[in-house]
Structure 1
């Protein structure tokens, strides 16, 4: 199944509209976010509730009216929107004579950098440290992805192989599914899907989970079908202005994750 992008209404436009159309408590939340979206990325539900004179339940309700399951997913989407806005602003103010690179290349370069920065903000240090602990304990590690995500699977697998861990990353869905059936509770299965709806990756995790292996999804949506078939989910973002479906838009974030995991593993080894 080829990975695709989903087109959604601009989140900030929805937030601005909620200022005038939402119930009073939710409109107050919308106004606070609209005034300084970036500061919201560093707040907890309790912080935002206190700053807006509302309760945590109102924050969750507001996020759901925006189409998200909770505050974490809302912040991930907001972070991506902020980064996309930066890219567009760069494109609007940069003239060809102002830069060494061609304008389109400069904008794409900035998009890649912003994608990494956005993912860095949402990666959970304790979760990655926990993953490092599981990697060290696993007797077998299977990593799988389809389309552009297969490149990401290879990047992660190769990084761990060079550190001496028993990792496989077959490019064939049928082979990965077959290998998943041979896992056990000493194994780790990692499925990577940018869209979060790739059937082959979902099935890979489902099969591995039935064997008792610990399963982890790496995706851009915590509530997607692929994530629902894993015990743990690591969320990365694809912030940036990407030209077409099929672009390797989440590769930079996977590189970041792979190197961060490598550092955590090295720190554990040094203790």
Structure 2
């Protein structure tokens, strides 16, 4: 065999082997990302001094009352034997202390609390600390209603979003005549919804990739209501009582409400166990 024929034969063999090797590499299936189900216990904080005094508290840092601590403890007892993978709250004392009490009495003292301002209550800007009763008619007037009661009755499940937007509109107009900068003024409902949705989805995805499990999330009544109004047909706009729980299940890349919205069943169970 001539040198040219030998060379052509060797070159052809190398090319064939290379093609075979590349075919093996490209045909190998990609590794699928493993995700596990997550259950979020989305919880309103315990009673605060502002709740008792009927004050607008938003981003303001009012503490839990004695009764507020007790209801958080009862919630913890009602969740006994529920193993939490993680816990998250807003950056407000009432939210963090509620979570700490729940973890303590549910047998999850080893779980640390992660704070994130995106889980805080809706911000009310210049109206922070006001008497709710004193502001009611002013807020209702934004939509042409005479009283706060009429406003609530006529708007139904849209009440909380419209309430947030009323604060936002009045504060944008500087109706309180304050010198607050834009960043400290009242949020709109859309702003609250977006930050709550982004953070809750992040928590769900992160926990899912870490093996799934249960997560305690403590936020506030208005922000939870505004969030739920965007993602559940079960939502009716009813006020959430202190320490009320709404379970969210993350599966197949989506968060959904599981069970009743704002249930006190865990609190009631814990209260009975403490007697």
- TM-score normalized with structure 2 length: 0.24
* Higher-RCO chain (CA-CA 8 Å, sequence separation at least 6): 2
- The structure whose residues are more often helix, as a share, is 1
Which structure is larger by alpha-carbon Rg, 1 or 2? 2
- The structure whose residues are more often strand, as a share, is 2
